[in-house]
């Protein structure tokens, strides 16, 4: 795409009421727009990144057998009363409203109840299980405070995955499979090295749940990390009892702040029992379905990447989720017809070679173009100017490196690293 | 995908409270689930169809220069008060709620206001225009009655597109381009022949707007159609004055019921004026941006296809938006290892050839399998049984035809019609 055609412009300053680094950078780059505290709209570059992250997650969820659905945001009172999660005294993050001449509705902050109700219509025998269902869908949560940019939104995109198993053993086996797939997801979006599977409080049906915590000073969570043994424990459960359960030594752990980028829970029969999700086993006896839930905030993941992979100059997208693979920048094309011609031709050549390229063809000073390029954070920048043309080469600079390389156009087009197809 | 693995099951009867044909068929086929009146969740097959329709629309919108965004559902009171569309007496379809300790918010039923506000930050000069922005996003409308299945929802997926032009002439030119692209969309999803561009009331800034109306007895609209001259007029404006404006004869028109599947509006400065969206022209003078809006309900489009292309046996998806291209059905595989082997191998062969295939590998009677296949409405069905194997052929039947063809597996795999890639 030509940058001159993109309707968004970068800006020097983020809104003065925006405290978080992730939102500041994303707003300045024209990725998102702040509608109100905790509510952001996605502009073209932001939508591309969000969709790429969603697609990484989608792929991994399908790889472990997930079938994709999209449930409604609007939720009925009757259903949630059955699990005792309707009352604002029990769940204090509902947004509620009224249907004209009708019932009160809530906006889903999670979807265990409606999916369990749906499964009742499709599961009756042990032959129908296990089943794994997920969605990537907008959640609404009436948060008291929302000042962490897109790390904690009142309206946000989330992947929620639910497992329906015949017994604890089958459940546990899948649970570990899901945990591994979470590891692959965090690796692919570029935060794998800073993200740790973390023991957290488990609720009614298991001693522990698992969180995936990414180290960051802006995180709202506190974990204790034994980096050598890759063991992490949420401070909520960092007790002598936990350490003894796990056979760990207190002295091996260091306190860290972190962002919870994912969590997985054993739900047991917490929802299947009150909602009547049962199946007949091989002997014709009726059993309750054993459930698990597996969440990743897609918006929070994007915010985490923006937060921890950025530098003083701007964003630094990992290739897999960058809005474009390559940022082609012409310098001085308004004065030199030769530069313009070569840059235009290289743009066409890159498109023909299947390279996903943003072409900064705007009539701006070199300094402004470079500053914008660093702010947008596309992994590779290619510069064409009188200077590079004199050498018969183009300048290629990785966003994460200080030094540029020089290569011919042919070499550039033949480098598989810059190609998406 | 193997049908035995799909978690949804077909059902003989739709819920007794469901009156509309589209929802009855879609629920029976396991495409959607009714959460409450006017609110449906998408199950795997329904999500695929919805996404395919969304992608057809997305492609055509990008072809006319549209840049995609995704705006928040949550809307702030201050913004909508500026255009006098916040008050429930002025707009009676808002769902409203309250942020904890904060302001009242509404759930967007359309997005002229927030997008115009965003454009203020990115448009300042005539060089920044024209621009075309669209989204495919969930709308909320507090409808008094919602009994037409997914034709009129309280929560539904919509494509809304907005044009920002420098003057009326530039606007008009694009408006016609958008109208043509709407024609392509309705052709591609299979309802082109039954859909007519229709003169409708125009509002403040133009005499007429344009609706796209699909003939159907279940439609809520009434149009007058001159089929010979492909002219249609909404009954709201079917007056002597309109006929005289258009130079048409009353006698050429026949009254028809129809579903409004799309509309395009000239908005003039209705939103840009109160929200201050201006630009400096070539002479440095400040002008107001001229806007247009272009809507298509993605959910309604799916409902319309389900409504008008179905028959007594079930759904009949056009190839471009079918959940799968081919339905492979084995008959008697539970008794014949040879049938099972051939069907399994053909399934693998089809996948390897890039055919998007649903394989009914379930252990059911032929009658049940055929009934399900007709209900699901995949365009082509391929049957393997002892009988077809005896002839060395497979049975190939188009969903819209009565007669089956017989061909070898090689011929099937080589027929480009059944391939997606």
Query: Are the Cβ atoms of B35 and A143 closer than 8 angstroms?
Result: no
Q: Is the pLDDT of residue B419 over 70?
A: no
User: Rounded CA gap, B161 and B295, in Å?
Assistant: 6
Query: Quick check: A155 and B121 CB within 8 A?
Result: no
Q: Measure B307 CA to nearest chain A CA, in Å.
A: 22
Position B420 confidence tier, pLDDT thresholds 50, 70, 90: low
Smallest CA–CA distance, residue A218 to chain B, in Å, is 23
- Closest of A178, A184, A191 to residue A64, by C-alpha: A178
A130 cis-preceded (ω within 30 degrees of 0): yes
CA distance to partner chain B, nearest, from residue A293 (Å): 17
A364 near B CB under 8 A = no
Question: What per-residue confidence (pLDDT) applies to A205?
Answer: 76
CA nearest to B132 within chain A = A7
Q: Mapped to the 3 state alphabet, what secondary structure does A190-227 carry? A: CCHHHEEEEEEECCCCCCEEEEEEEECCCCCEEEEEEC
Sign of the Cα pseudo-torsion (A319, A323, A328, A331, in order): negative
DSSP state string for A234-277: EGGG-SHHHHHHHT--GGG-EEEEEEEEEEEEEEETTTHHHHT-
Nearest to A138 among B44, B73, B92 (CB): B73
Q: Does the beta carbon of A51 lie under 8 angstroms from any beta carbon of chain B?
A: no
CA-nearest residue to A96 within chain B is B97
Q: How far is CA A293 from CA A111, A259, A268, B336, in A?
A: 10, 19, 10, 40
Rounded to an integer, what distance in angstroms lies between the CA atom of residue B304 and that of residue B150? 9
Give yes or no for B71 touching A (CB within 8 A): yes
Q: Which residue, chain included where needed, has tokens 């660093």?
A: A374
Among candidates A47, A119, A154 on the partner chain, residue whose Cβ is nearest the Cβ of B74:
A154
A402 has a chain B CB within 8 A of its CB: no
ipTM: 0.96
Residues A384, A390, A392, A395, Cα dihedral to 10°: -40
Q: Please report residues of B whose CB lies closer than 8 A to that of A76.
A: 35-36
Q: Could you tell me what percent of chain B has a pLDDT over 90? A: 90
- Structure tokens, B283: 């002479």
Virtual torsion, Cα A170, A176, A180, A186, nearest 10 deg: 110
Q: In this structure, are strands B380-384 and B221-226 parallel, antiparallel, or unpaired? A: unpaired
Would you call B32 an interface residue with chain A, using a CB distance cutoff of 8 Å? Answer: no
Q: Do B125 and A56 contact (CB within 8 A), yes or no?
A: no
CA atoms of B324 and B55, how far apart (whole Å): 15
Give mean pLDDT, residues B376-388. 95
A289: which DSSP letter? P
Give the DSSP H or E segment for A183. Answer: helix A168-188
CB B30 to CB A6 under 8 A? no
Degrees, nearest 5: CA angle A213-A218-A221: 40
CA distance linking residue A53 with residue A323, whole number of Å = 10
The answer to whether B154 contacts chain A (CB < 8 Å) is yes
Residues of B in contact with A12 (CB under 8 A): none
- Residue A312 φ/ψ region, left for φ over 0, alpha for ψ in the -120 to 50 degree band, beta for the rest: alpha
In chain B, whose CA is at the least distance from the CA of A72?
B41
Whether chain A has a CB inside 8 Å of the CB on B393: the answer is no
- Indicate yes or no: CB of A128 within 8 angstroms of CB of B7: yes
DSSP A353-391: TT--EEEE-----HHHHHHHHHHHT-SEEEEE-HHHHHT
Structure tokens at A374: 């660093």
Chain A residues in contact with B10 (beta carbon < 8 A): none
Q: What is the pLDDT of residues B268-324, one digit of tens each?
A: 999 999 999 999 999 999 999 999 999 999 999 999 999 999 999 999 999 999 999
Binary contact (A33, B133; C-beta < 8 A): no
Residues of A in contact with B44 (CB under 8 A): 67-69
Please check whether residue B364 touches A, CB under 8 A.
no
Q: How confident is the model at residue B101, as a pLDDT?
A: 77
From chain A, pick out residues whose CB is under 8 angstroms from the CB of B11: 121
Which DSSP state fits A90? T
Rg (Cα) of chain B, in Å, rounded? 25
- Interface residue B101 vs chain A (CB under 8 A): yes
- How far apart are the CA of A153 and the nearest CA of chain B, in angstroms? 11
Chain B residues with CB-CB distance to A161 below 8 A: none
CB contact under 8 A, A9 and B122: yes
Enumerate the β-bridge partners of residue A293. A162, A265
Take residue B370 and report the two structure tokens written for it. Answer: 């055929």
What pLDDT, on the 0 to 100 scale, is given for residue A101? 77
A14 touches chain B (CB under 8 A): no
Which residues make Cβ contacts (< 8 Å) with residue B155, sequence separation at least 6?
Answer: A72, A73, A74, B38, B39, B138, B139, B140
Nearest CB neighbour to B35, from listed A50, A69, A74: A74
**Pairwise CB contact (< 8 Å): B101 & A41:** no
Cα A385 from chain centre: 37
User: What is the rounded CA–CA span in Å between residue B159 and residue B136?
Assistant: 4
> A47 CB near a chain B CB, below 8 Å?
yes
Tell me which chain A residues have a C-beta less than 8 angstroms from the C-beta of B128.
7
B337 C-beta neighbours (distance < 10 Å), count: 9
Query: What confidence tier does B326 reach under pLDDT thresholds 50, 70, 90?
Result: very high
Residues of chain B with Cβ-Cβ distance to A69 below 8 Å are 41-44, 47
Predicted structure pTM score: 0.97
Q: Which residues pair with B210 in a beta bridge?
A: B199, B264
Model pLDDT, residue B418: 67
**A92, closest residue in chain B (CA to CA):** B100
- Decide if A73 and B138 are in contact by the 8 Å CB cutoff: yes
CA distance A239 to A327: 50
* Partners of residue B50 in chain A, C-beta under 8 Å: 70
**How many interface pairs between A and B have CB atoms less than 8 angstroms apart?**
140
A40 CB neighbours in chain B (<8 A) are: 72
Give the distance from CA B76 to its chain's centroid: 28
Beta carbons of A99 and B7 less than 8 Å apart: no
Whether the CB of B155 is below 8 Å from some CB of chain A: the reply is: yes
Query: Does A100 contact B at CB distance below 8 Å?
Result: yes
3 state SS of A63: helix
Average pLDDT over residues B41-62: 98
The 10 Å Cβ neighbour count of residue B194 is 18
Closest of B365, B44, B364 to residue A134, by C-alpha: B44
Closest to B95 (Cβ–Cβ): which among A41, A97, A155? Answer: A97
In this prediction, residue B203 has a pLDDT band, given cuts at 50, 70 and 90, of confident
Q: Å from B121 to nearest chain A CA?
A: 8
Nearest to A44 among B47, B68, B76 (CB): B68
In this complex, is the C-beta atom of A358 within 8 Å of any C-beta atom belonging to chain B?
no
pLDDT tens over chain A, length 421 residues: 999 999 999 999 888 889 899 999 999 999 999 999 999 999 999 999 999 999 999 999 999 999 999 999 999 999 999 999 999 999 999 999 999 978 999 999 999 999 999 999 999 999 999 999 999 999 999 998 888 999 999 999 999 999 999 999 999 999 999 999 999 999 999 999 999 999 999 877 788 999 999 999 999 999 999 999 999 999 999 999 999 999 999 999 999 999 999 999 999 999 999 999 999 999 999 999 999 999 999 999 999 999 999 999 999 999 999 999 999 999 999 999 999 999 999 999 999 988 999 999 999 999 999 999 999 999 999 999 999 888 889 999 999 999 999 999 988 988 876 665 4
The alpha carbon of residue A363 is apart from the nearest alpha carbon of chain B, in Å, by: 12
Are the beta carbons of A154 and B99 separated by less than 8 Å?
yes
| Pair type for strands A67-68 and A131-140 | parallel
Token readout for A94 is 């509902």
Is A121 in Cβ contact with B33 (below 8 Å)? Answer: yes
CA-closest candidate to residue B210, choices B245, B250, B258, B260 = B260
Q: Does residue B118 belong to the interface with chain A, where contact is any CB pair within 8 Å? A: yes
Q: Return the pLDDT at A47.
A: 98
């Amino acid at each position: 795409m030509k940058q001159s055609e993109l309707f968004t412009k970068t800006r020097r300053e983020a809104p003065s009421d925006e405290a978080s680094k992730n939102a500041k950078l994303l707003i300045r780059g024209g990725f998102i727009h702040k509608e109100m505290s905790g509510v952001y709209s996605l502009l073209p570059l932001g939508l591309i990144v969000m969709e790429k992250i969603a697609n990484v997650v989608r792929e991994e969820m399908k790889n472990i057998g997930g079938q994709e659905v999209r449930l409604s945001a609007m939720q009925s009172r009757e259903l949630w009363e059955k699990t005792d999660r309707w009352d604002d005294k029990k769940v204090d993050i509902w947004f509620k409203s009224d249907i004209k001449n009708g019932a009160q509705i809530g906006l889903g902050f999670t979807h265990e109840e409606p999916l369990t109700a749906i499964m009742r219509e499709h599961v009756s025998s042990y032959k129908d299980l296990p089943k794994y269902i997920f969605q990537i869908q907008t959640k609404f949560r009436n948060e008291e405070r929302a000042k962490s940019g897109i790390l904690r939104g009142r309206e946000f995109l989330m992947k929620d995955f639910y497992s329906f198993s015949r017994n604890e053993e089958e459940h546990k086996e899948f649970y570990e499979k899901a945990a591994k797939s979470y590891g692959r997801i965090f690796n692919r979006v570029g935060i794998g090295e800073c993200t740790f599977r973390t023991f957290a409080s488990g609720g009614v049906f298991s001693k522990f749940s698992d969180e995936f915590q990414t180290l960051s000073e802006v995180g709202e969570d506190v974990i204790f990390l034994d980096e050598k043994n890759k063991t992490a424990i949420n401070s909520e459960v960092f007790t002598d009892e936990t350490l003894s359960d796990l056979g760990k030594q207190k002295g091996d752990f260091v306190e860290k702040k972190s962002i919870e980028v994912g969590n997985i829970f054993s739900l047991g029969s917490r929802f299947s029992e009150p909602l009547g999700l049962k199946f007949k086993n091989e002997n014709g006896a009726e059993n309750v379905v054993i459930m698990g839930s597996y969440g990743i905030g897609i918006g929070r993941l994007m915010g985490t990447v923006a937060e921890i992979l950025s530098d003083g100059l701007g964003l630094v997208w990992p290739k897999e989720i960058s809005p474009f693979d390559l940022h082609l920048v012409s310098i001085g094309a308004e004065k030199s017809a030769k530069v313009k011609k070569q840059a235009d031709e290289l743009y066409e050549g890159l498109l023909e070679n299947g390279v996903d390229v943003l072409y900064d063809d705007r009539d701006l000073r070199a300094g402004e173009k470079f500053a914008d390029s660093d702010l947008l954070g596309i992994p590779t920048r290619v510069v064409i100017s009188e200077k590079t043309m004199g050498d018969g080469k183009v300048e290629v600079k990785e966003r994460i490196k200080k030094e540029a390389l020089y290569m011919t156009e042919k070499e550039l087009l033949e480098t598989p690293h810059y190609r998406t197809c």
